[in-house]
Amino acid sequence: MNLALFDLDNTLLSGDSDFEWSQFLIEQGVLDRELFEAKNLAFYEQYKAGTLDIHEFLDFQLKPLSRHARKVLNQWHEAFMRIKVRPMMGDKARALVKEHLAAGDVCVVITATNSFVTAPIVREFGIEHLIATDPEQKDGEFTGGVAGVPSFREGKVARMEQWLSERGWSWGSFEQSCFYSDSLNDLPLLSKVKRPVAVDPDATLRAHAEQQGWPVISLR
């Protein structure tokens, strides 16, 4: 039995669903452009630089979910999928996922982006399992808070190991384990698997991958 882990943003997707969700809400007039666009860009640059304060960002990202009914959010997400997401779902990424699924591998998307944004995307890739940052909910509506540990940096390792433990598995349960990611933020989890793969990596991850002899591929 093999384990295949996939980062989502800038890995399976040729863009960042977290960033694009905020941009989509700005373009739809849901969020004020003057107030939100500069912040969205600043957080995205911090993420790429490895300096993001995840709790500060989640406060920014999840609060808008609490201001609207879930039914309305779902309608917006359908349009978001059509306008923003599907154009970022490339043939090479789809083929990679199909290859692992056809081999019978346990496939998991593990992402820092919240599960409201990512769950429909992951389903469209045909992947059953998702580990994401979970927005807090009360009576089916979002509160604007976070439930549990954010799936970010070392938090991804903690969430992954919790997920394995809940199923009676450990890293040693798998003959082969791989993780595909683009980001320096995923170095903690990349270091846990037997086959780390850098996908269209940022400069820091590329340098680390080349130094360690990890495969470097492109899905673009």
Q: What is the mean pLDDT of residues 69-79?
A: 96
Label residue 100 by pLDDT band (50, 70, 90): very high
pLDDT, residue 151, reads 96
Separation between Cα atoms, residue 9 and residue 21, nearest integer Å: 12
d(CA 7, CA 47): 14
CATH number, residue 33: 3.40.50.1000
What is residue 182's predicted lDDT score, i.e. its pLDDT?
A: 98
The answer to whether residue 213 scores a pLDDT higher than 90 is yes
Run of H or E residues at 27: helix 17-27
* Cα 181 to Cα 15, 71, 186, 204, distances in angstroms: 13, 32, 7, 12
Q: Look at residue 58 in the predicted model and tell me its pLDDT.
A: 87
Bridge-based pairing of strands 176-181 and 2-6 is parallel
Query: How many independent structural domains does the chain possess?
Result: 1
pLDDT tens digits for range 25-34: 999 999 999 8
Give the residue numbers spanning the domain of 37: 2-217
Please say if the pLDDT value at position 55 is more than 90: no
Q: What is the pLDDT of residue 82?
A: 98
At residue 35, the pLDDT reads: 82
pLDDT at 137 exceeding the cut of 90: yes
As a whole number of angstroms, the distance between CA 103 and CA 26 comes to: 41
List, by residue number, the catalytic residues: 7, 9
Categorize the per-residue pLDDT at 60 as very low, low, confident or very high, splitting at 50, 70 and 90.
confident
Sign of the dihedral defined by the CA atoms of residues 29, 30, 35, 41, in that order: negative
